[in-house]
C-alpha cells in the first residue's frame, strides 16, 4: 500500500505541477479568483472522516463490532457529503459561471486536478461501502483489522492529497 | 537446505489435452510461469521490433531509396521505439525479476500472485492495443494507421489537428494500460523482497540481483506514474477538448517534454539496473570469485537510483532552458557517471585474478563491460550542453542510446538467457550455437552502431526517411545496414538454439554452473512450490557454505 501511495503521489504531483505552472496563463476568463469559493465545510467533512475511520479501525482491533460499524458508516457519510459538495460546486461553475474543461487552461487544469481527487474519493467510497456490506452481514471480524487498516491508509492518503489540492487551488491559486 | 523434493504421486501419465495446458497457462498465478510468459511475450515483440528496425535500415541503405513511403517510415520508427522500450525491454526484465527473485530469496511465490497475473495481462493487452492500431488506427478519417509521432510524441504533433484519426490514441492508451501493469509488478517486487525473504537472509546477505531489482521497482513507481499522468492529460486534450499542451490557449509544449522525460530518463535506469543485476550474478560465477565490493555495489545502485531522478532535462538542452538549468542538468548527468564507474571497476576487480570460464554467458558479460563503457563515455560527451547542441537529434545520439540499450542491456539479457536457461528448462543450451550467436551478434552490433556515430558527426539527422547522395553518408549507411543482417542472423541462431535445446538439449541437473545462490539448490525446472523446505542461510553464498562446510563464507562476512 505504501508503494501504491508513492505511485499515486507521483501522479498527483504531476497534476499539481501542471496546475501551478498554468496559473495565470489562461488567455481568456474566468479566472480562479472570480469563480472559486473556499469550501471550508467540505474540507472539514473530509478531514474529520480521517478521524472517524481511525476510530473505526481502533474499534475493530478491540473487536467492538457495533462501534466499528457506526464509525465506518459515519466515514462513508462524510465522504459522500464531500462528493455531493464537489458535485454542487461543479454544477455551479458549469451552469452559472460557464466554466468547463474546454473554456480555458484554468478550466482544464482545475477540473482534471479536482476531478482526479474526486475520482479517488469515489473509489475509496466504493471500497468502504463494500466493507460496510460485509460488516452488516457479520463477515468482518477482528482478524480483518489489518486489511481495514490498509484501506484506512488509502483514505488518509486521499485526505492528505485534499490538503495539498485545497492549498494549491483555493488558497495559493486564488 | 531444500535439497530433497517431495514426490507427488502420479496418477495419470498421459499428456493432458492441449486446451487444458492452455487453460493452465492463461489462468496461472505461479511466479515462474508468469515470468516465462513475460519472457516469451517480449521475445515475440523483440522479433517484431527487429523487423521494423530492418525495414528502416533497408530504406536507408542507399540515397533516394524508395523501399517504403515516408509515412510508413515514420510509423516504423515510432513503433520500433515504443515496442522495444515498453514491450520488449520492460517485460523482459520483469520476466526475469518475476522468475528469479522468489527463487533467490527462498520464497515460494511473489507476495501478491494474483496482482502478478493481473499486471502481466495488462502489459500483454497494452502490447496488443498498440499493434491493433495497424487495423483500427484509421478511424473514420482515413488518416493513416499506426502511430507516427515518434516514441516521445512531442506536443503539439499529438493534438487532434496534427494527428487526426485514432493512431495516437492507440499509442496513449497502450502505454497507459501497460503502465498500470508495470506499477503493479513494481509494487509486487518490493513487497516480495521486503516481506518474503527466507530465514537468515538479512538485507546485507541478499543476492545483488534482488537488491538491484528493488531499486528498479522503486524507480518504476516514481517514473512510470508521471507518464501515466501525462497520458491522461493528453487524452483529456484529445477527447475532452482540454488545453494542457495547446499552445494557442496558453498551454505549453515544453511541459509535455518535461513530463515525458521525467519518466523517460529514469526509464533508462529501470532497464539498465536489471542488466547490471544479471552481470553482477554471472561474472562472479564464471570468475570463480565472490563479487568484489558488495556493499559498494549496493550503495552505487541506490545512488544511481536517486541521481537518475534529477537528470531528465539533459534530453532538452536544445529546447532552450536557462543557463542555470542547463548547468544543473549537465552536472547531475555527469555525476551519474561516478557510481556507474564504481560498478565497472567492481566487476573488473571481480574478474581480476579469477579463474575465468569463457562460456557464452561470460562472453556476453565481457562484451557488455566494453560496450557499456563506450556508451557511458559518449553519454558524458552528450552531457556537455554545448556538445549536445551540436549533436542532439543526429545519428550520433541514436548510436549512443543504441549502444546503451543494445550493447549494454540486450547483451546482458542474452547473458541472462544462457545463464538461467538450464534452470528454466532443465536442459543445457548448445555451447557452439551460443558462441556462434555471440560472435555474429557482436560483429553485427559493432558494424551497425560503431559506424552509426560517424554520419551523426557529419550532420545526418535522425528520423529522415532518405538523404541526398554526395554528403559522405552513403558508404557508412551501407555498412550500418549490413550490420543489421549479422544481428538478424545471430538472433535466428539464438531462437534456434533455445528451441533445439528445449527439446533435445542435455539434461542440466540442478546446478550446472557450480553457482552459489539459492535458485540452484532446487530442481531444474523448479517445482511449483520452489523449495520443499524453506531454506535457511548464513551468508551471501549459501550454496558455497553447503559445498564447502570446511571453509564457509559466514566465517568471513
Tally C-beta pairs within 8 A across A and B. Answer: 85
Q: Which domain holds residue A60?
A: 2-24+37-172
Q: Does A6 touch chain B (CB under 8 A)?
A: yes
- The rounded distance, in Å, linking the Cα atoms of B412 and B367 is 9
Q: Is residue A32 part of a domain?
A: no
In chain A, whose CA is at the least distance from the CA of B241? A102
On whether any CB of chain A is under 8 Å from the CB of B196, the answer is no
- B244 and A7 within 8 Å at the Cβ level: the answer is no
Nearest C-alpha in A relative to B239: A102
pLDDT given for residue B5 in this prediction: 52
Q: Is the pLDDT of residue B4 over 70?
A: no
pLDDT (mean) for B33-58: 94
Q: What is the pLDDT of residues B455-502, one digit of tens each?
A: 999 999 999 999 999 899 999 999 999 999 999 999 999 999 999 999
CA distance linking residue B340 with residue B382, whole number of Å: 16
Q: Is residue A31 part of a domain?
A: no
Distance CA(B443)–CA(A145), nearest Å, equals: 60
A171 touches B at CB < 8 Å:
no
CA distance B170 to B151: 13
Please give the model's pTM, rounded to 2 decimal places.
Answer: 0.91
CB-nearest partner of A101 from B187, B190, B241: B241
DSSP string, B425-471: HSBPPPHHHHHHHHHHHHHHHHHHHHHHHHHHHTTPBTT-S---SSS
Q: What CATH number is given to the structural domain containing A15?
A: 1.20.120.80
Which tens digits make up the pLDDT trace of B311-370?
999 999 988 888 999 999 999 999 999 999 999 999 999 999 999 999 999 999 999 999
Q: Are A110 and B236 in contact (CB under 8 A)?
A: no
pLDDT at A34: 82
Chain B residues with beta carbon closer than 8 angstroms to that of A5: none
Nearest to B456 by CA among B370, B387, B407, B404: B387
How confident is the prediction along chain A (174 residues), in pLDDT tens digits per residue?
A: 777 888 888 888 888 888 888 888 887 778 888 888 888 899 999 999 999 999 999 999 998 888 999 999 999 999 999 999 999 999 999 888 888 888 888 888 999 999 999 999 999 999 999 999 999 988 888 888 888 999 999 999 999 999 999 999 998 887
Q: Where are the domains of chain B?
A: 25-555
- Determine contact: A149 vs chain B, CB below 8 A: no
Average pLDDT, chain B: 91
Predicted confidence at residue A10, as pLDDT, reads 86
Minimal C-alpha gap between A43 and chain B (Å)? 25
Domain count, chain A: 1
The answer to whether the CB of B271 falls within 8 A of the CB of B89 is: yes
CATH, domain range B25-555: 1.20.210.10
CB contact under 8 A, A104 and B249: yes
Is A159 a domain residue?
yes
Each residue of A77-110: pLDDT tens digit? Answer: 999 999 999 999 999 998 888 888 888 888 889 9
Burial class (CB in 10 A: 0-12, 13-18, 19+), B179: buried
Best of B234, B251, B267, B305 to mutate (most A CBs within 10 Å, chain A): B251
Q: Does B243 touch chain A (CB under 8 A)?
A: yes
Interchain CB distance below 8 Å, B229 and A14: yes
Q: Does ipTM top 0.95? A: no
Determine the pLDDT at residue B1.
42
Report pLDDT for B13. Answer: 56
- Please report the pLDDT score of residue B77 as a whole number: 93
pLDDT digit string, tens, across residues B114-164? 999 999 999 999 999 998 888 766 655 555 678 888 888 888 888 888 887
Predicted confidence band at B2 (pLDDT cuts at 50, 70, 90)? Answer: very low
Q: Is residue A117 part of a domain?
A: yes
Residues of A in contact with B234 (CB under 8 A): none
Q: Is residue A160 part of a domain?
A: yes
| Share of residues in chain A with pLDDT > 90 (%) | 52
Interface test with B, best of A1, A2, A3, A112 (most B CBs within 10 A): A3
Amino acid at each position: 500500500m505504501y508503494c501504491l501511495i508513492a505511485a499515486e503521489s507521483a501522479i498527483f504531483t504531476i497534476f499539481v505541477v501542471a496546475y501551478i505552472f498554468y496559473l495565470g496563463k489562461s488567455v481568456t476568463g474566468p479566472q480562479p479568483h472570480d469563480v472559486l469559493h473556499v469550501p471550508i465545510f467540505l474540507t472539514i467533512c473530509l478531514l474529520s472522516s480521517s478521524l472517524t475511520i481511525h476510530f473505526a479501525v481502533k474499534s475493530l482491533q478491540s473487536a467492538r463490532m457495533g462501534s466499528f460499524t457506526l464509525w465506518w458508516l459515519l466515514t462513508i457519510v462524510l465522504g459522500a457529503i464531500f462528493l455531493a459538495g464537489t458535485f454542487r460546486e461543479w454544477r455551479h461553475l458549469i451552469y452559472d459561471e460557464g466554466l468547463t474543461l474546454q473554456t480555458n487552461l484554468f478550466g482544464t487544469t482545475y477540473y482534471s486536478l479536482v476531478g482526479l481527487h474526486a475520482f479517488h474519493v469515489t473509489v475509496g467510497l466504493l471500497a468502504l461501502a463494500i466493507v460496510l456490506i460485509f460488516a452488516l452481514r457479520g463477515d468482518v471480524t477482528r482478524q480483518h483489522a489489518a486489511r481495514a487498516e490498509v484501506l484506512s491508509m488509502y483514505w488518509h492518503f486521499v485526505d492528505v492529497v485534499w490538503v495539498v489540492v485545497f492549498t494549491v487551488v483555493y488558497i495559493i491559486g486564488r | 537446505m531444500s535439497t530433497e523434493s517431495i514426490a507427488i504421486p502420479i496418477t495419470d501419465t498421459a499428456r493432458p489435452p492441449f486446451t487444458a495446458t492452455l487453460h493452465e497457462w492463461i489462468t496461472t498465478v505461479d511466479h515462474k510461469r508468469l515470468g516465462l510468459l513475460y519472457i516469451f511475450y517480449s521475445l515475440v515483440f523483440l522479433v517484431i521490433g527487429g523487423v521494423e528496425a530492418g525495414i528502416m535500415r533497408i530504406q536507408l541503405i542507399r540515397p533516394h531509396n524508395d523501399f517504403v513511403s515516408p509515412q510508413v517510415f515514420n510509423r516504423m520508427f515510432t513503433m520500433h521505439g515504443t515496442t522495444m522500450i515498453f514491450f520488449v525491454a520492460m517485460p523482459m526484465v520483469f520476466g526475469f525479476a518475476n522468475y528469479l527473485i522468489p527463487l533467490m530469496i527462498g520464497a515460494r511465490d511473489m507476495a501478491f500472485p494474483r496482482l502478478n497475473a493481473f499486471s502481466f495481462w495488462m502489459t500483454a493487452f497494452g502490447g496488443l492495443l498498440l499493434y491493433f492500431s495497424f487495423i483500427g488506427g484509421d478511424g473514420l478519417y482515413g488518416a493513416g494507421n499506426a502511430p507516427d509521432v515518434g516514441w516521445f510524441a512531442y506536443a503539439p504533433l499529438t493534438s487532434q489537428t496534427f494527428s487526426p484519426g485514432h493512431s495516437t490514441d492507440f499509442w496513449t492508451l497502450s502505454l497507459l494500460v501497460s503502465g498500470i501493469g508495470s506499477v503493479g509488478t513494481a509494487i509486487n517486487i518490493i513487497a516480495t523482497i521486503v516481506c518474503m525473504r527466507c530465514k537468515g537472509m538479512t538485507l546485507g546477505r541478499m543476492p545483488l540481483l534482488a537488491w538491484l531489482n528493488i531499486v528498479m521497482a522503486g524507480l518504476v513507481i516514481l517514473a512510470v506514474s508521471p507518464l501515466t499522468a501525462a497520458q491522461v492529460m493528453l487524452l483529456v486534450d484529445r477527447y475532452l477538448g482540454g488545453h494542457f499542451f495547446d499552445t494557442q490557449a496558453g498551454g505549453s509544449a515544453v511541459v509535455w517534454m518535461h513530463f515525458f522525460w521525467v519518466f523517460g530518463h529514469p526509464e533508462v535506469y529501470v532497464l539498465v539496473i536489471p542488466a547490471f543485476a544479471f552481470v553482477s550474478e554471472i561474472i562472479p560465477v564464471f570468475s570463480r570469485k565472490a563479487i568484489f565490493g558488495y556493499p559498494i555495489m549496493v550503495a552505487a545502485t541506490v545512488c544511481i537510483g536517486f541521481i537518475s531522478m534529477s537528470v531528465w532535462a539533459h534530453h532538452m538542452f536544445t529546447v532552450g532552458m536557462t543557463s542555470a538549468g542547463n548547468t544543473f542538468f549537465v552536472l547531475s548527468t555527469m555525476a551519474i557517471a561516478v557510481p556507474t564507474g564504481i560498478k565497472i571497476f567492481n566487476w573488473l576487480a571481480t574478474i581480476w585474478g579469477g579463474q575465468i570460464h569463457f562460456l557464452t554467458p561470460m562472453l556476453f558479460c565481457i562484451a557488455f563491460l566494453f560496450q557499456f563503457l563506450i556508451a557511458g563515455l559518449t553519454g558524458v560527451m552528450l552531457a556537455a550542453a554545448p556538445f549536445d547542441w551540436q549533436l542532439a537529434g543526429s545519428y550520433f545520439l541514436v548510436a549512443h542510446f543504441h549502444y546503451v540499450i543494445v550493447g549494454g542491456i540486450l547483451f546482458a539479457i542474452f547473458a541472462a538467457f544462457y545463464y538461467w536457461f538450464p534452470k528454466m528448462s532443465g536442459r543445457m543450451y548448445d555451447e557452439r550455437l551460443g558462441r556462434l550467436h555471440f560472435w555474429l551478434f557482436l560483429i553485427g552490433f559493432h558494424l551497425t552502431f560503431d559506424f552509426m556515430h560517424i554520419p551523426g558527426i557529419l550532420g545526418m539527422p535522425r528520423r529522415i526517411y532518405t538523404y541526398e547522395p554526395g554528403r559522405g553518408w552513403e558508404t557508412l549507411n551501407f555498412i550500418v545496414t549490413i550490420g543489421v543482417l549479422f544481428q538478424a542472423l545471430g538472433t535466428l541462431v539464438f531462437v534456434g538454439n533455445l528451441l533445439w535445446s528445449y527439446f533435445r538439449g542435455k539434461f542440466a541437473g540442478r546446478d550446472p554452473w557450480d553457482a552459489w545462490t539459492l535458485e540452484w539448490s532446487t530442481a531444474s525446472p523448479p517445482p511449483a512450490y520452489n523449495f520443499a523446505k524453506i531454506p535457511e542461510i548464513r551468508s551471501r553464498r549459501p550454496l558455497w557454505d553447503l559445498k564447502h562446510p570446511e571453509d564457509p563464507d559466514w566465517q568471513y562476512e
